Amino acid sequence: MSDGHVRPAGESEEPLYDVNVRTPTHAERARTLAATFGTATLCTIARDPAGFPYGSLVTFALDGPDPIFLISELAEHTRNLRTDSRCSLLIAEGGKEDPLANARLTLLGRCATVHGEEERERAKHAFCTRHPTAGYYVDYKDFSFWKLGVEAVRYIGGYGRMSWVAVEEWRASEPDPIAPHGDAILRHMNQDHPAVMADCCRAFTKATDVTAATMTAVDRYGFEISVQTRKGPRPIRLGFAQPIASPADARRELVAMATRARESLGRSEDHRG
């Protein structure tokens, strides 16, 4: 399975960057997406009208790789699950002008109630940490914790980036630790250091005619930039020297890359910060 930066359909030019730069796997992207959101669409098999897919909005949290729900016996999806445990959970991001360019994830499997005091306490901790207001009703008798045992994973990261993710990879992967800080890093770099990013592209890629550069994504392995060239906008990906786990790590790696780019281009400006 290839997880490289995908060129837009119809783009005939050769990539301007090394396509072997490490990128998150689809399993890592999927785990990150699931960890980012707390609401999703739960699809169960309806009792009435029998056999039809029934979608409903739910809140969820992750207990490791498995989603946890706190749902009422009065809910239609709970009644459906007590008849047929098969279900799917659709987790989708928003924000892009083109909805189909957003990432989404479908988890399929069987849902079962959480049994045992230790397992229930673990589920309670995970759920209430993600949804603090659930503390008001978490101990009501008509509410129960349910866990979706993931058996299949479908990830779509937008146009041209999609696959069925092996369950073993889903379970072994971890959410990207940079994801909660990504917006702040992008904002800082785009507002304060656009020239640095342009220099990095000139120094380390074939985009030597860059007139403007905008960081569009960052993860533990590197970052992506949209650059303006004589031929129009083009995508660039640059990798960190080593995986990062915090904003401090990101700053260190970006400062080091800026220094190398400055030296490569024969400049002496100080781009720290």
How many domains does the chain divide into?
A: 2
Q: What is the mean pLDDT of residues 207-230?
A: 95
Assess if residue 95 is contained within a domain. Answer: yes
Residue at a domain's end among 172, 188, 217: 172
> Which tens digit of pLDDT belongs to each residue from 228-249?
999 899 999 999 999 999 999 9
Distance CA 50, CA 22 (A): 47
Answer yes or no: do 31 and 159 share one domain: yes
Answer yes or no: do 102 and 194 share one domain: no
Answer yes or no: do 143 and 219 share one domain: no
Answer yes or no: do 141 and 187 share one domain: no
> Which tens digit of pLDDT belongs to each residue from 3-46?
434 444 445 678 999 999 999 999 999 999 999 999 999 999 99
Average pLDDT, the chain: 92
223 pLDDT higher than 80: yes
Rounded to the nearest 5°, which phi and psi values hold at 93? -85, 165
Answer yes or no: do 93 and 35 share one domain: yes
One-letter amino acid of 70:
L
Task: For residue 214, give the CATH number of its domain.
Answer: 3.20.180.10
205 pLDDT higher than 90: yes
Supply the pLDDT for residue 269: 54
Rounded to the nearest 5°, which phi and psi values hold at 190? -75, -30
> Which tens digit of pLDDT belongs to each residue from 86-116?
999 999 998 778 888 899 999 999 999 999 9
Residue at a domain's end among 148, 172, 196: 172
Collect all residues with Cβ–Cβ distance below 8 Å to 169 and sequence separation of at least 6: 25, 26, 27
For 131, the domain range is: 26-172
